[in-house]
Amino acid sequence: MESPIYDTLILSDLHLGAETSRAQEALRVLRENRFRRLILNGDIFADLNFARLKKEHWKFLGYIRKLSNPKRNVEVVWVEGNHDHGLTEIMSHLVGIRAYREYRWEYQGMRHVAVHGHQFDSFVVNNVRFNYLFGTLLYLQLQKWDSKSKWLTRFLDRLNTRWLRMSPKVAAGALAHARQHKAARIFCGHTHAALHWSEQGIDYYNSGSWVDSHPTYITVGERGVEIHEHKEQPEIPYPGDDPGDGETQQAEFIATAEISESEEYERVGR
């Protein structure tokens, strides 16, 4: 039975560069679904340090670049998250897609909005430098010390996003934003907790994350909006996959992008 063609597929909070990023499984989702639009709804990267990216992270970026080819007839949208800040210009050039702070589109006569959601998290907005130094950098260091199962860092992630950031608070801010812009549906990430909440005829959806044991993504199509939990499967090599290491994948990605390692790129990569 042929899989449906979705109008839009949304995933967020992949955190490429983090030890817990499940880029390989996210790539499988993109390969196994058909869609007209892909929205990467923020925090695709963990931080500005490209040296942390592994081969599966570069593979994911390479596939995004292929999808952005006009011959594919897929609109690829990158919505900037708080962890992506500072990467907008360079990644738009590398991957060949436009970056937005907020993206809006019409489907089935309804206005839809995609925004990462950190805008509705007052702690992140008011403590940008503190969050980076004592949140992002410390969290990435803990991942290096953690066991192979990463149970500690995933547990800390759940504490940080679900208890301290408070999903209901972000949802309330998003619903108010949707009302202001006359949108019927609004989609966020940021809190790492998949969620659907309706209020006064407006639907709020959170796409969850790809750093937890139960990664999720969202589809918008003829059957409405669906939150899917991805079930991990044994790795199956795809034609054309290169089993090389991270440096090989990085070199091939840059070659495909037809650019050299410019001074700006090297500075961000440190």
pLDDT digits (tens, 9 = 90+) for 189-235: 999 889 999 999 999 999 999 988 889 999 999 999 999 999 877 66
Q: What is the pLDDT of residue 262?
A: 40
Average pLDDT over residues 29-49: 91
Q: Is 60 helix (H, G, I), strand (E, B) or coil?
A: helix
pLDDT at 183 over 60: yes
pLDDT at 148 over 70: no
CATH of the domain at 62: 3.60.21.10
Q: Lowest-pLDDT range, 24-38, 57-71, 121-135, 139-153? A: 121-135
Q: What is the pLDDT of residue 179?
A: 98
Average pLDDT over residues 67-95: 84
Beta pairing, strands 216-221 & 224-229: antiparallel
Q: What is the pLDDT of residue 154?
A: 57
The residue segments making up the domain with residue 151 are 5-269
Q: Alpha-carbon distance 155 to 141, whole Å?
A: 15
Q: Report which listed range, 10-19, 165-174, 240-249, is most confident.
A: 10-19
Q: Report which listed range, 83-97, 164-178, 201-215, is most confident.
A: 201-215
Number of domains into which the chain is organized: 1
For the question of whether the overall pTM of this predicted structure is more than 0.85, the answer is no
8 Å CB contact between 156 and 174? no
CA distances (Å), origin 237, targets 24, 31, 234, 242, 243: 11, 12, 10, 9, 9
Beta pairing, strands 34-41 & 5-11: parallel
Question: Residues 208, 31, 219, 17: what is their CA dihedral angle, to the nearest 10 degrees?
Answer: 20
Average pLDDT over residues 86-93: 72
Average pLDDT over residues 101-109: 97
Q: Can you count the helices (H) and strands (E) in the chain?
A: 10, 11
130 pLDDT band (50/70/90 cuts)?
very low
Secondary-structure percent of the chain, ordered helix, strand, coil, rounded to 5: 40, 25, 35
In the numeric block, which tokens belong to residue 165?
A: 């950031």
pLDDT at 161 over 50: yes
Which alpha helices (H) appear in 132-225, and where do they start and end? 137-145, 151-158, 167-180
Strand partners, 110: 107
Q: For 67-92, b where at least 16 C-beta lie within 10 A, e where not — what string?
A: bbeeeeebbbbbbbbbbbbebeebbe
Q: Which residue has the higher pLDDT, 50 or 73?
A: 73
What are φ and ψ of residue 29, in 5° steps?
-60, -45
Q: For 147-180, b where at least 16 C-beta lie within 10 A, e where not — what string?
A: eeebeebbeebbeebeeebebeebbebbbebbee
Q: Alpha-carbon distance 182 to 179, whole Å?
A: 5
Which alpha helices (H) appear in the chain, and where do they start and end? 23-32, 55-67, 88-95, 122-126, 128-130, 137-145, 151-158, 167-180, 246-256, 263-269
Neighbours of 133 (CB within 10 A): 11
